[in-house]
Amino acid sequence: MDLFQELLEELRNLSEEDRAKKLKEMEGDCVCPICPTYEDCGKGENVFCITQKSSCVDMELGCLCPTCPLAQKYKIGVLYNFYCHRGTEKEQREG
């Protein structure tokens, strides 16, 4: 199991409330809101690598994920990225 899979496992084992709290902390690292591809759907969407793809991004204009502290810490964002449009890291790994 790699670092990112361990993170998903950790999140899976948390209560809904603690999971939401942890995701909220991760939002602090997520650079999506300043990315050229990002579209604000008015729902505060971010951390697409873990949550789900965006409900309004429909064009890829570059991806800042490789520069994200969370991506660097958990070693994601290079092989797979554009999570807002292509789906989560897990979804992309599973093809």
* Touching ligand SF4, residues 42-61 (CB under 6 A): 46-49
Q: Which of 4, 56, 73, 84 is in the footprint of ligand SF4 by CB under 6 A?
A: 84
Closer residue to ligand SF4 in complex, CB, 7/65: 65
* Rounded Cα gap, residues 91 and 88, in angstroms: 5
Q: Which of 4, 17, 43, 83 is in the footprint of ligand SF4 by CB under 6 A?
A: 83
88 lies in the site for ligand SF4, by CB under 6 A: no
26 to 38, 59, 70: CA distances (angstroms): 17, 24, 7
7 lies in the site for ligand SF4, by CB under 6 A: no
Closer residue to ligand SF4 in complex, CB, 9/36: 36
* Rounded Cα gap, residues 91 and 31, in angstroms: 20
CB crowding 15-47: b at 16 or more within 10 Å, else e:
eeeeeeeebeebeeebbbeebebbbeeeeebbb
Binding site for ligand SF4 (CB under 6 A): 29-32, 35, 37-38, 46-49, 63-65, 68, 70-71, 77, 81-84
